[in-house]
């Protein structure tokens, strides 16, 4: 799969690297908080396995670089690789290597926004 963009019922979380949109992961079954908790769990499980923080940072960074290289070369990337990529990015954000505002964008579902606007209009007219 060359591109991975899935729009969920609650929107999507998108990852940008070097001003390139790498992937968009669906929000619905899992929320942004669920993905962040997966990243925390990955860091904690690494620490339980006696992996130092510097080693974890190196490993997550290398994985992200490999996915980015595949993306640039247009080599197919599996769905699970994109999910692990997202979790590695969120782990690096938690470890304060990357910044949320530079890498991650969360887009709500446009249809739900339109429904909320309609509800507000109805409630104001009553």
Say whether 91 sits in a helix, a strand or coil.
helix
Q: What is the pLDDT of residues 24-57, one digit of tens each?
A: 888 888 888 999 999 999 999 999 999 999 999 9
How many residues are present in the chain? 126
Q: What is the pLDDT of residues 1-10, one digit of tens each?
A: 445 556 667 8
pTM of the model: 0.79
State the Cα–Cα distance between residues 47 and 65, nearest whole angstrom: 22
pLDDT tops 70 at residue 113 = no
pLDDT tops 80 at residue 115 = no
Residues of the chain with pLDDT > 70: what percent?
A: 80
């Amino acid at each position: 799969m060359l591109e991975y963009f899935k729009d969920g019922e609650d929107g999507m979380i998108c990852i940008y690297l070097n001003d390139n949109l790498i992937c968009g992961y669906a929000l619905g079954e899992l929320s942004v908080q669920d993905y962040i908790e997966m990243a925390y769990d990955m860091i904690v499980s690494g620490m339980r396995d006696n992996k130092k923080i510097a080693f974890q940072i190196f490993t997550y960074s290398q994985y992200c670089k490999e996915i980015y290289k595949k993306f640039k070369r247009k080599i197919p990337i599996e769905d699970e690789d994109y999910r692990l990529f997202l979790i590695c990015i969120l782990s690096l954000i938690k470890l304060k290597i990357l910044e949320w505002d530079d890498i991650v964008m969360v887009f709500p579902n446009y249809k739900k926004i339109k429904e909320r606007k309609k509800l507000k209009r109805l409630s104001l007219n009553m």
